[in-house]
Every structure is written in structure tokens, then in C-alpha cells.
Amino acid sequence: MRVPLPAGAGDACVAFDADGGVSRARFAAHVRALAARLPEAACAVNLCEDRYRFLVAFCAVAVRGQANLLPPNRSRAAIDEVRARYADSYCIGDGDACGCPGLVPGPHFVALPAALPSLEGAPLSVDDAAVVAIGFTSGSTGRPAAHAKTMAAFRIGTAQNLALLGGLWPAGATRRVVATVPPQHMYGMELTVLLPLLAEVAVHRGRPFFPEDIAGALAATRAPALLVTTPVHLRALVESGVALPPLAGIVTATAPLPQELAAQAEVRFDCEVREVFGSTETCIFAFRRTARDAAWTLAPGAQLQPRPDGTLVHAPHLAQPVPLADVLEPQGAGRFVLRGRQADLLEIAGKRASLADLTRRLLAVPGVRDGAVFQLDAHAGGVRRIAAVYVSDTLDEAAVRRALRDCVDPVFLPRPLRRVAALPRNETGKLPRAALLDLLRAA
């Protein structure tokens, strides 16, 4: 079986910005022209910053029978590590905007020209069984792990994601997406690359960062759009006071979304906030309306199998069950609650807690803008102390410590607790463990 790329009518929009849209027919012509000049190789590290150019490069690599390598971040060290693991590979990016110091056009780096050439030809398609992408975990708990994704997995998963997003776009409305997340991350891949490729959805080609930029990108949609973002960006939007155009809805992932923040955002922007659950290993397989629900709802056909070390996830888009370190407790009727990662569960002096819940309590302290609770490496005797870092304009460490004493058992109070200027979050809002330890040492 072969899957057409892109799906939909040739005159339908695939990507847009304030200057207008690009039709699917024109997109296919750009893909053909780029595919014709790609080198012979097994894989390509897709570094394009512009989302439309990422789409063009992604398809060009796929129709050449190659796999897109999606590093956990765009640092030169991460790129070099990925390329070392896949020797028969090259980099592809949109010129200087690819953000890779030292990479110049040559045998190992294909730079997309400022004006993309076009080439007419037969309709494009990719074999359903082909591996079209290899995603890497964030490395927040160790070395990034690679996970291959076939066209079939993406095709089935995209149909599932459209069902999970059902009811957000008004019936019959033009389906448009604006996103703050990079396309290289699996969450960004699913909702900002695969949706426009495999369904009649159009995506804004930029990646707005500041609240004013997000408002400008949403204004360019000229129709209520779906905002695909993270809790970090959502908090900044809520606190900014910036007015947004009418939204079809807000989707968030990559980090836990506090229920209070979800409720504030729904009131502030007059739309539903829908949180999706997934990972690089599994892709999206559940969702919830966080402002109202503590439990998650599984996608159709998805099932959970609890295990002592976590949970086994079964889903139609997964060729085989995938193990997760998350403890997911089934509630019946296709619902579950997240108890935390197995490694995050704490037991001290016969008492139990989780790092996720302790972090939630830290973030709930009035005046704390960001924060994280984590464990240090083991000391003599195997003892692992609990540490925390937080960001606040008004609260010193003594004030936060007093607030935590009111809601946290003394055995779980973080020591040390450090106030910092900002947390070392990556492009998707995650906090790599190594970066947290470095921050604590520097504080």
C-alpha cells in the first residue's frame, strides 16, 4: 500500500502565514524539486526551522526512501551524536536559520535555497511500511533513545488524533493550526506536520515564541485556529494580558498542565483546553479536559496493561505493545489516572509521595512562576536527597520553605531549595536532569 503525500485536493492550503497560503499542488512541486537534489543516503537530520520548509524537507526525504532523523534538541552536540549513530546520514536545513554553528553547504549539509524551486511530475506517495522518521527521547532521564516510525503508524495515528481533536474546530470550518512547539519533537510532528500532510489541515509556517508573536500568528489564520502549545507558553499567555483572536481550542503537552492554569486559560480565551498524553515511544494515545477532569480518556482501541515497572501501552498505531515507565492506573470505561513515573515515586520513613505531586505543590505557592522538584544522586548509604529550584519575583527561599511546610510532609521537604532566575527548559519546556543538576551547582 502506498500513501499519497500530501493528502487532499491540490488547491487546498497546506501552510500559511500573514502573506498568504501555499496550495498542496505547489507544495508537491517543491518536494519533487528538492528530492531530485538530495544525496544518496539512508537518513537525513531535518533541522529546518521554518515549518513549511520542514514539511518540504520531510516529504522530500521520505519520497527518496530515506528516514528523517529528529534529534532531541538542535544543539550541535545532539546533532553530532545522532549523526555518529547513523553514519550514512546528512543534515538538511533552511540555511542560516537552521541554527547549527559550523555547518556549511557541502556533502553532509543540504541548505534549502531562499526561493524553493518547483518541479512538476507524478503524484507523490510513500510505501506504508517505510520508516519515514526516527525520533529521539528528550534525554531527561538518560541518553536519548531512538524510536523508528513507519508511514503506517503515522497514518493510523493521524486519523486517531483527528478523532481526539473532534469538536474543537467548528463543523465545516477551515481547519488551521498555529504552534509554538518545534516540528522535530514528536508532539510537534504529530499535530503540525502529519495533520497537514495526511488530512486537510493547514499549519502556520512559523513558531511564535512571545505572546505578542502568538497573537500575530493567530490573526493570520483569518479563522478560529487550534493553538498547539506547552504549559510554559500557556502560562506566559495567561499572565501577559495579550488579547488573542477567537480560538477553536488549545492543545497542550510535553509537561504536566496544572488544573488551575487550564481553568484560567479556558476563561481567559473562551475555548476548551485539551491536554494530550503520549511520548516519543508511543505517540499520542489519550486526552483530557484538564480544567474539569483528573482522569484521562484513551483513544479508540488503546488499552493499558499495568506492570510492576510501569505500564504496557497497546494501540492501533503501535506495531507491538510499548512499555512506559509511567504508572497509569485504569479506572474503567477507557479512562485512567496518572500516578507518576516509577522512578518519581518516593518512599521515605514508610511514607509515600511523588516528584510530580511535590512539583505541583511548589507551583501552587502564590508568587512562584516556575519550579521543579527532583532527586539528587545517591550519597553514602544510598540516600537520595530531594532538591528543588524555583523562579519568583517576590519570594525568597525562606518564604517558599514556610509555604511548603503547610502542604508537604516534613520528610519530603526539598533540601536544598534554591531560587533561580530561570529554569533550563528546552524547546518543548522539558527539564533535562543534567541541566537541573548544573543549575543547582551554580545557584
- At 287 the pLDDT is 96
In the block, cell 500573514 appears at 18
Give yes or no for a cis peptide into 416 (omega within 30° of 0).
Answer: yes
Is residue 61 situated within a structural domain? yes
What pLDDT, in 10s, does the model give residues 10-58? 899 999 998 899 999 999 999 999 999 999 999 999 999 899 999 999 9
Q: What length does the chain have?
A: 443
Whether residues 355 and 280 fall in one domain: no
* Domain termination residue (choose one: 277, 293, 309): 293
Does 426 reside within a domain? yes
Strand 417-419 to strand 296-298: parallel, antiparallel, or no bridges (unpaired)? unpaired
Tell me, yes or no, whether 135 and 236 share the same domain: yes
* Mean pLDDT in residue range 105-128: 87
Q: What is the mean pLDDT of residues 404-425?
A: 88
* Residue corresponding to grid cell 547549527: 100
What confidence category does residue 141 fall into, taking pLDDT thresholds of 50, 70 and 90?
low
Mean pLDDT across the chain, nearest whole number? 88
Query: Among residues 240, 248, 254, 132, which one has the least CA distance to residue 193?
Result: 132
Q: Which of 258, 293, 328 is the last residue of a domain?
A: 293
CA separation for the pair 236, 440 (Å, rounded): 24
Q: Is residue 79 part of a domain?
A: yes
Q: Are residues 286 and 372 in the same domain?
A: no
Residue 250 placed within a domain: yes
> What is the SS3 string spanning 244-257?
CCCEEEEEECCCCC
Q: Check: CB of residue 298 under 8 Å from CB of residue 341.
A: no
Does residue 281 sit in the same domain as residue 387? no
pLDDT for the residue numbered 350:
62
User: Is the predicted pLDDT of residue 61 greater than 60, yes or no?
Assistant: yes
CA-closest candidate to residue 91, choices 79, 75, 73: 79
Same domain for 409 and 282, yes or no, is no
Q: For residue 353, give the CATH number of its domain.
A: 3.30.300.30
267 & 383 share domain: no
pLDDT of 342 strictly over 90? no
Domain with 107 in it: 2-293
* Structure confidence at residue 167 (pLDDT): 86
Q: Is residue 378 domain-shared with residue 265, that is, in the same domain?
A: no
Residue 223 pLDDT > 80, yes or no? yes
Rounded Cα distance, 338 and 331, in Å? 11
The domain total for the chain is 2
Given a cut of 80, is residue 383 above it in pLDDT?
A: no
Q: Which of 268, 293, 318 is the last residue of a domain?
A: 293
pLDDT at 226 > cutoff 80: yes
Residue 310 lies in a domain: no
Q: Are residues 277 and 425 in the same domain?
A: no
Residue 233 lies in a domain: yes
Structure confidence at residue 31 (pLDDT) = 97
Same domain (yes/no): 123, 208: yes
Which domain CATH number covers 160?
3.40.50.12780
In a domain, 334, yes or no: no
Residues 361 and 264 in one domain: no
Q: Beta partners for 3? A: 126
Closest CA to 262 of 240, 284, 294: 294
Residue 315: inside a domain: no
Give the least confident one: 98-107, 135-144, 309-318, 327-336.
98-107
| Judgement on whether residues 82 and 213 belong to the same structural domain of the protein | yes
**Do 283 and 148 share a domain, yes or no?**
yes
